């Protein structure tokens, strides 16, 4: 059967680094509080004239170069983002053009922090059904533009960044030993839209608004829904949780990452955590962690990875991939 196999990765973090100490002059907080409650040490902030599409192009270009393929052989570009350049056109179309991709289609997906899991699920559907062969999946965000810089409960948590996976259709045996996406499950429940939201948007206030969050509710749901999503996938595959080589969750906060691991009886040394260095980059966080950990030698070919996420909506889900 056809499987969606990763043939290249890329990542980009803006040049400007903002440390926890930098927040001390903006809101009433300190490095110790932020590190103890979140594990976050620093985040990257996009320059004034640097947009989500710019971040996405850097990451996408790197993934294409790593794969060593011609851009023109890519037939779908999906950008997962909650912070598009403009209301229209889709950021993905700008990225497609700037990467020299002239055929196929490009569109954005907005599922907030679950965006990358949603995008991988859609990409997998296109590849397995034969509708696309090569799909560039990018998570790209400039959350610094929608933060309430007066709210210490949220502004310290997020950062800007982008990362990409290039997927290629490969003929495999149809077993759990195959390389590629083995499972992708997505969920949403719209009854708690007010837990994580912006206070405006195109149709309501004609502005993009700024973010607010019910931290405790999101925390509680994150450490419940993400383990459930991993379990759903492993049960569907008929594999024990012990078969997971690496848990690579949405990089929201170190306590959440370890909480998800604990619920699944996966030890901390099998949980990839990169949030310390880039904070929560929403849809970019899972591919950033995958890029970093596959380059530093932790994630190796043929290893089994479980990648769950939860975000505003609520939305949540998990993809399971053999690298």
Ligand X SMILES: CC(C)(COP(=O)(O)OP(=O)(O)OC[C@H]1O[C@@H](n2cnc3c(N)ncnc32)[C@H](O)[C@@H]1OP(=O)(O)O)[C@@H](O)C(=O)NCCC(=O)NCCS
- Among 106, 140, 156, 223, contact with ligand X (rule: CB under 6 A): 156
Q: Does 170 bind ligand X (CB under 6 A)?
A: no
| Per-residue mark of binding to ligand X, 236-275 (x: CB under 6 A) | ----------------xx--x-------------------
Task: For ligand X, give the closer residue by CB, 64 or 257.
Answer: 257
Residue 291 designated active-site: no
Q: Between residue 174 and residue 203, which ones bind ligand X under the rule CB under 6 A?
A: none
- Among 98, 145, 152, 263, contact with ligand X (rule: CB under 6 A): 152
Read off the tokens for 251: 């990089």
What span, in angstroms and rounded, lies between the C-alpha atoms of 203 and 81?
18
Supply the minimum distance, in Å, between the C-beta of residue 222 and ligand X: 6
How far the first Cα of the chain sits from its last, in Å, is 17
- Among 125, 209, 219, 262, contact with ligand X (rule: CB under 6 A): 219
DSSP readout, 130-182? Answer: TS-SEEEEEEEEEGGGT--TT-TTTTTTB-EEEEEEEEEEEE--SSTTSSEEE
CB 105 within 8 A of CB 136: no
Task: For ligand X, give the closer residue by CB, 33 or 107.
Answer: 33
3-state secondary structure of 46: coil
The rounded Cα 95 to chain-centroid distance in angstroms is 17
- Among 218, 254, 289, 321, contact with ligand X (rule: CB under 6 A): 218
Q: Does 279 bind ligand X (CB under 6 A)?
A: no
What span, in angstroms and rounded, lies between the C-alpha atoms of 61 and 69?
11
Catalytic residue among 44, 58, 187, 250: 250
Antiparallel, parallel or unpaired: β 105-109 and 76-80: parallel
- Among 2, 7, 31, 33, contact with ligand X (rule: CB under 6 A): 33
Reported as half-sphere exposure (CB side, CA atoms, 13 A), residue 293 has a value of 26
What span, in angstroms and rounded, lies between the C-alpha atoms of 138 and 81?
9
The rounded Cα 145 to chain-centroid distance in angstroms is 18
- Interface segment toward ligand X; rule CB under 6 A; list 30-38, 162-170, 266-274, 315-323: 30-38
Task: For ligand X, give the closer residue by CB, 77 or 318.
Answer: 318
Residue 280 designated active-site: yes
Antiparallel, parallel or unpaired: β 2-12 and 160-171: antiparallel
Task: For ligand X, give the closer residue by CB, 62 or 315.
Answer: 315
CA dihedral in degrees (273, 254, 318, 217; nearest 10)? -170
- Interface segment toward ligand X; rule CB under 6 A; list 72-80, 153-161, 270-278, 295-303: 153-161
Q: Does 97 bind ligand X (CB under 6 A)?
A: no
Residue 250 designated active-site: yes
For ligand X, the nearest residue by Cβ is 215
- Could you list the residues that contact ligand X (CB under 6 A)? 29, 33-34, 37-38, 113, 152-153, 156-157, 213, 215-216, 218-219, 222, 252-253, 256, 280, 310-311
Q: Which residues are catalytic?
A: 113, 250, 280
């Amino acid at each position: 059967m056809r499987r969606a196999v990763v043939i290249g990765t890329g990542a980009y973090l803006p040049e400007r680094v903002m440390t926890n100490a930098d927040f001390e002059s903006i809101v009433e907080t300190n490095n110790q509080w932020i590190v103890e409650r979140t594990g976050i040490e620093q985040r990257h902030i996009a320059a004034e004239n640097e947009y989500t599409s710019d971040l996405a192009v850097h990451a996408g270009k790197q993934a294409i170069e790593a794969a060593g393929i011609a851009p023109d052989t890519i037939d779908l570009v999906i950008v997962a983002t909650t912070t598009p350049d403009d209301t229209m056109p889709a950021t993905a179309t700008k990225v497609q053009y700037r990467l020299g991709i002239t055929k196929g289609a490009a569109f954005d997906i907005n599922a907030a922090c679950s965006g990358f899991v949603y995008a991988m699920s859609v990409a997998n559907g296109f590849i397995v059904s034969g509708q696309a062969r090569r799909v560039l999946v990018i998570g790209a965000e400039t959350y610094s533009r929608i933060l309430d810089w007066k709210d210490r409960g949220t502004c310290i948590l997020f950062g800007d960044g982008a990362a990409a996976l290039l997927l290629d259709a490969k003929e495999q045996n149809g077993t759990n030993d195959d390389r590629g996406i083995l499972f992708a499950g997505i969920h949403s429940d719209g009854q708690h839209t007010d837990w994580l939201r912006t206070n405006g948007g195109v149709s309501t206030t004609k502005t993009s608004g700024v973010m607010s969050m019910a931290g405790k509710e999101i925390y509680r749901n994150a450490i419940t829904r993400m383990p459930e999503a991993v379990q759903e996938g492993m049960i569907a595959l008929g594999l024990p949780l012990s078969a997971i080589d690496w848990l690579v969750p949405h990089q929201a906060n170190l306590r959440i990452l370890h909480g998800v691991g604990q619920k699944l009886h996966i030890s901390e040394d099998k949980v990839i955590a990169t949030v310390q260095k880039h904070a929560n980059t929403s849809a970019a966080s899972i591919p950033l962690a995958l890029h970093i950990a596959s380059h530093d030698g932790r994630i190796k070919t043929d290893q089994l990875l479980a990648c769950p996420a939860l975000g505003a909506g609520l939305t949540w889900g998990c993809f399971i991939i053999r690298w």
